[in-house]
Amino acid sequence: STLSFVLGTRPEIIKLSPVIRSCQRYDVPFSLIHTGQHYSDELDSVFFEQLELPPPEYNLAVGSSSHGEQTGEMIVGIESVLEEERPDVVLVQGDTNSVLAGTIAATKMKGIEVGHVEAGLRSFDREMPEEVNRRLADHAADHLFPPTETSRQQLLSEGLADDRITVTGNTIVDAVTQNVEIAHERSSVLAELGLESEFGLLTAHRAENVDDRERFVTLLDGVARAAREQDLLVVYPIHPRADKWVSEFGIDVPAEIRLVEPQDFLDFLVLEDEATIVFTDSGGVQEESCILQTPCVTLRDNTERPETVEVGANRIVGVESESVVEGVREILGVGPNWENPFGDGTAAKQILDALEYDQA
């Protein structure tokens, strides 16, 4: 019985890496189908190398375009690869257009089941492309792997059958625990970036934050004010999408914020672990800062990771200055000492067990 992974972006490569490595360990035959949604080295090949993943057998090289064109091209390409590969199960992870395309292509093919890793997350904000993608993927998939009991309950409340659902924890815990020590041993990012005293870490790339000039400027201003009050320099490894808008809008980035290139996974883990505070609109970064006991403020109006807020690791502050400044003050006022709600770092094994690959 064989498995194909459809993946296409930075977070999918990182979060599927423990599952791919478990397949290697248990001798589960698998293939990797890369959609090519991300293609810049710094969002793509650097993670294959650093996480020691085999190069994908297929790369559809769809690149960047509108949602319909990008997703449509992927569906066509994935379908023809699946015709050839004929796996028993296709695994997708998360909420990107690559996930939607992989799910749609595979679900209509006879004899192929779909497994959705990180199922059941909801921001309840249907304006976000990711919310549409994750809902559609959950409702089409045969096997659902929610990270927590909260996400399982969400799936049940939408009428999805309990016997398709296995709570596994989030594979990001596996990825963090497998890499954080190595990161501290090997990375010299703090010295390279000259971060000798306390610093903050910023990531912002969501369409709703960076594609709108006014909102992006407001967000940067809020982070800069909080940084000034806390006497911190903030490093911002900038995603190419955001970088493009900084140039096109001609935004003057405040002096408190230092733009740097996107970091590889080990360097980024060290930055997250050592930062005084994390400012982010990323999904994965909310989880990782929670796992690493680094306080986080989320520069959005909602989150599909409410567990991080419930345990006290994260505050949803939006982008307005006063709210960002206040959120930072509050979360730094209570010491980081919370439970990790995302499982014990065995999610990858639990996913393969649920698919009955443990006896393979």
Instruction: Give yes or no for residue 288 binding ligand UDP (CB under 6 A).
Output: yes
Instruction: Give yes or no for residue 116 binding ligand UDP (CB under 6 A).
Output: no
Selected binder of ligand UDP within 17, 179, 203, 289 (CB under 6 A)? 203
Active-site residue identified among 38, 116, 205, 239: 205
Instruction: Give yes or no for residue 282 binding ligand UDP (CB under 6 A).
Output: yes
CB of 350 within 8 A of CB of 169?
A: yes
Count the Cβ atoms, other than its own, within 10 Å of residue 180. Answer: 18
Helix (H) or strand (E) holding 7: strand 3-7
Among the listed ranges 18-26, 142-150, 193-201, 263-271, the one in contact with ligand UDP (CB under 6 A) is 263-271
Long-range contacts of 70-75 (CB under 8 A, 24+ apart): 70/37, 70/97, 71/97, 71/100, 71/101, 74/8, 74/35, 74/37, 74/98, 74/101, 74/102, 74/105, 75/101, 75/104, 75/105
Selected binder of ligand UD1 within 7, 11, 90, 144 (CB under 6 A)? 11
Instruction: Give yes or no for residue 118 binding ligand UD1 (CB under 6 A).
Output: no
Instruction: Give yes or no for residue 93 binding ligand UD1 (CB under 6 A).
Output: no
Instruction: Give yes or no for residue 97 binding ligand UD1 (CB under 6 A).
Output: yes
Instruction: Give yes or no for residue 11 binding ligand UDP (CB under 6 A).
Output: yes
Cα angle for residues 17, 209, 133 (degrees, 5° grid): 50
- 184 catalytic? Reply is no
CB of 306 within 8 A of CB of 120?
A: no
| Burial class of residue 181 in the structure, from the number of CB atoms within 10 Å of its CB (0-12 exposed, 13-18 middle, 19+ buried) | exposed
Distance CA 40, CA 46 (A): 9
- The listed partner (ligand UDP, ligand UD1, none) that binds 37, CB under 5 to 8 Å by sort, is ligand UD1
Among the listed ranges 149-157, 215-223, 258-266, 327-335, the one in contact with ligand UDP (CB under 6 A) is 258-266
| Count of residues interacting with ligand UDP (CB under 6 A) | 15
Question: What single string gives the DSSP state of each residue in 235-303?
Answer: EEE--HHHHHHHHHHT----TTEEEEPPPPHHHHHHHHHH-SEEEE--HHHHHHHHHTT--EEE-SS--
Q: Residue 86, by phi and psi: left (phi above 0), alpha (psi -120 to 50) or beta? A: left
Place of tokens 């006022």: 333
What is the rounded end-to-end Cα distance, in angstroms, of the chain? 8
Selected binder of ligand UDP within 75, 100, 227, 285 (CB under 6 A)? 285
Instruction: Give yes or no for residue 240 binding ligand UD1 (CB under 6 A).
Output: yes
Instruction: Give yes or no for residue 10 binding ligand UD1 (CB under 6 A).
Output: yes
Selected binder of ligand UDP within 151, 263, 308, 340 (CB under 6 A)? 263
Which residues make Cβ contacts (< 8 Å) with residue 206, sequence separation at least 6? 128, 281, 282, 300
Instruction: Give yes or no for residue 96 binding ligand UD1 (CB under 6 A).
Output: yes
Paired residues of 31 in beta bridges: 4
Instruction: Give yes or no for residue 237 binding ligand UDP (CB under 6 A).
Output: yes
- The listed partner (ligand UD1, ligand UDP, none) that binds 97, CB under 5 to 8 Å by sort, is ligand UD1
| Count of residues interacting with ligand UD1 (CB under 6 A) | 19
Instruction: Give yes or no for residue 134 binding ligand UD1 (CB under 6 A).
Output: no
Instruction: Give yes or no for residue 39 binding ligand UD1 (CB under 6 A).
Output: yes
Selected binder of ligand UDP within 30, 245, 265, 357 (CB under 6 A)? 265
User: What are 190's two structure tokens?
Assistant: 């703090």
Distance CA 161, CA 165 (A): 7
Give min distance, CB of 232 to ligand UDP, in A. Answer: 18
Judged by the rule CB under 6 A, the positions of this chain that interact with ligand UDP are 10-11, 14, 203, 205, 237, 262-263, 265, 268, 282-285, 288
Judged by the rule CB under 6 A, the positions of this chain that interact with ligand UD1 are 9-11, 37-40, 43, 64, 95-97, 129-130, 205, 239-241, 244
The residues carrying an active-site annotation are 205
